[in-house]
Every structure is written in structure tokens, then in C-alpha cells.
Amino acid sequence: MEEKNTNSADSIGPLDRRFSLVIGGPFSEILERLRLNGADHLPHARAGIILALFAWLLPAVLAVLQTLVDNQYSGWDYFQDFTVYTRYLIAIGVMVATERYADHRIGLMLKQFDSAQIIPGPVKHEFRSLLERADRLSASSIAEGTILAATLAWSVFITSLTVELSVKSWEGTFTGGAEILSWAGIAATYLSTPLFLFLVFRWLWRFFVWTLLLYRISRLSLQLTPLHPDKAGGLGFLAIYPGVFSGFVFAMSSVVASSFLKELSLTVQSPATVWLALAVWMVLLMVMFLGPLLVFIPPLSNERQQALLDYGRVASEHHLVFEREWIEKEKSGAELFDSSIPSSIADLNGSIDAVRTMQTVPLNLGAFLQLLLAGGLPLLAVVLKLVPLGQLLQWVLGSIL
């Protein structure tokens, strides 16, 4: 297994190494050997382009060649298949190209845990151990080997099923009870589609590791601040987390959108059914990628409840003193002008109001918008298929004006 970048300037507080969900593992080693990674062991921008072009061009060239030499085969429908472009060009390119961005965002969040003193001294060693365990898990050779085997098996199964259902396509033909793959079909089945699926499941594995890490961090004795202006005890910075997976979400939504478009071009579907499917997909994205932040409900809820008790006790003591010294002794209101009591009352009441409004989930509107934009943008193509652009613009302008 590849040793991850150590003693980096980006080290997180007292940690000896930089944590990364992206760096490490056999696939990263392959990119290193192909010189598609930079000095920081993260993929260059050209890495996504090269892998995407490889996945799309190889079946494309073979489809053209076999069409020219075999009168029984026509591979031109390869270039009319919407899903080919989204899986091989868009999805692969985006999933690789956004790794550097994802690594940076994760680094920012983990540094904040330490720099904001959310991790107190006594548990810093445990925090470091959690990061190191997650680091090794994200780069596991066993995990990537299992993913590769699963993607190859799934690719073969899906191709066989597709050829059998379509009888004849650019991937091959189904005759005599067996499928005969074309040259392009063979390349797609054993190279292009496995590459696409491998990257998908690799990102899902990272998502699992990240979710597990957040869960374990949430079980530490965190030093939360009930009066923090982010209204999340100091954990408000975690709202930038969905951005880590925004590239992956965009890639998956692109594939889903192209599948819808392909289905709509072949069969007639009820608009209501399509709208429902789009809504279900968006809800699934929101639940899946915002759900991990729910692990912080217990510590934030406990902190809020304890703060309400503590601040309430201090306020009661303070206000009782005020009543004894000012109300019961019937002092005049004019005497309050030279006293700090009124401002302290306002400060205490304001503090309790701040604690009451403390959130139990570190979410904000920006977190929703990141996912909404990444997941919804590709689906606009399906929306325009259902509602013509002119009609859509007329409806939007009519609503505004």
C-alpha cells in the first residue's frame, strides 16, 4: 500500500501526517506510474480528461472499425447513446478531476476541529488515532480489490442483460440463446464500464469511511460552545462538507438524467411518473449526503440542554440578586443609570436566547444549495424534455411579473 504524504505543511495541528480520503491505494499508485498525479500525490486536471477520453474513444474507434469491415454490424448507434457520453466522458472526468478539490475541503474541516479547540487536549491522541485508522481504511488495497472484482462482475452481467433485452445494439447481438459481443462491446464491458463503476464505488467507499469517521468523532468528548455565532456549538463549519462530494453527485445525476432521456426516447412515460422519479432521486441525494451530519445530534442536544440549565441557573441567581437589591429595597429607577446591572441582565437574557436557538444539526441553507445545484443541474435536460424551454421561460417570467 502506498505511504501517504507525511510531514506536510498541511498537517492538522498536532498530527504527524496529513489525512486524506483521496491519496493512497493501488489506483493512486497506477496514476503515479502514469504520471497523472502531481507532487502532492493528487490527480492533475488532465488525469480526468485522459481517463475519460480513453474510456469513450476505445469503444468508439472499435465501433467504427467493425462497422467498416463487418456488413452485419452497425456501431453508429454508439454515438447516439446518451448514457455513453455521461458515463465515460462526464462522470469519469468529473470524478477524477474533483479529487483535488475534495481533498482540500476535507483538510479544511479537519484542521478546524483542532484550531477551533473543539478537540480538547485530553482526547487529541484519540482524535489522531481515528484519523489514522480512517486514512488506512480509505486507501485499503483489499477494499479496492473487492471493488474491482465487483465492478467487473457487474459490468459483464449488465452488458449481457442489455444485449439480451435489446437483441441488437452497438454492444452486440443476441442470437441462438447467447449474446455475441461486438468489438466495442468487449472494450466497454471489460475496460470502459469497469473503470466508470470502479470510480463510482471507490467514491462510495470514501463516503462510507468519511461517515464512519464523523460518527466516531461525534462520540469523543468534544468541546462545544453553546454561544457560538454559527448556532451549532462551533460545528457550523461542517456545513461545507457536502461540497466534498458535489462532483460525485453531479456525475451521478448526469448519468441518471441521460438514462431518463434515453428511456423517454424509446418509450412513452407519463410526465407525472418522470416528475416523481426526479423528486425521489433528489430526496435520495439529500438524505444520503446530508444524513451523516445527523451523528452530531446527540452531542449538540446534550450541550444545548446542559447550557440551558447552566445559563438558566446563573440568570436566576443574578436576577434574584437584582430583585433583592433593587426591587425589594425599592430603589429608584434613576439609580440604575450608574449601574451595570441593566446591561448584565440584557446580556444574560441574550445568552439564554442564543442557547435556545442553538441547532442540533450543523446544517445551513448553503449545504442544501450545494447539493441542490450539483444534483439538480443535470436534471434540467430532463425537465426541458418534459416542458419546452419557451413554455418554461413564459411560466417563470409570468410568476415574477
CA 106 vs. chain centroid, Å, equals 11
**Helix or strand holding residue 164 (H, E):** helix 141-166
Looking at residue 14, its pLDDT comes to 45
Phi, psi (deg, nearest 5) at residue 175 = -140, 145
pLDDT band at 331 (very low <50, low <70, confident <90, very high): low
pLDDT in tens, 350-384: 888 888 888 989 988 888 898 999 999 999 999 88
pLDDT at 327 over 80: no
Looking at residue 15, its pLDDT comes to 47
Question: Over pLDDT 70: what percentage of the chain?
Answer: 87
pLDDT in tens, 245-265: 999 999 999 999 999 998 888
Looking at residue 398, its pLDDT comes to 66
Positive or negative, the CA dihedral 329, 334, 338, 340 is positive
pLDDT at 31 over 70: yes
pLDDT at 165 over 50: yes
What's the CA gap between 135 and 266, in Å, rounded?
45
Looking at residue 167, its pLDDT comes to 72
pLDDT at 6 over 80: no
Residue among 96, 106, 103 nearest 31 (CA): 96
Q: Residues 182, 63: contact at Cβ < 8 Å?
A: yes
What's the CA gap between 60 and 234, in Å, rounded?
52
pLDDT in tens, 167-180: 788 999 988 778 89
Say what the pTM is: 0.86
pLDDT in tens, 109-139: 988 998 889 998 889 999 999 999 999 999 9
CA 99 vs. chain centroid, Å, equals 11
pLDDT band at 243 (very low <50, low <70, confident <90, very high): confident
Looking at residue 332, its pLDDT comes to 55
pLDDT band at 13 (very low <50, low <70, confident <90, very high): very low
Mean pLDDT rounded to a whole number for the chain: 86
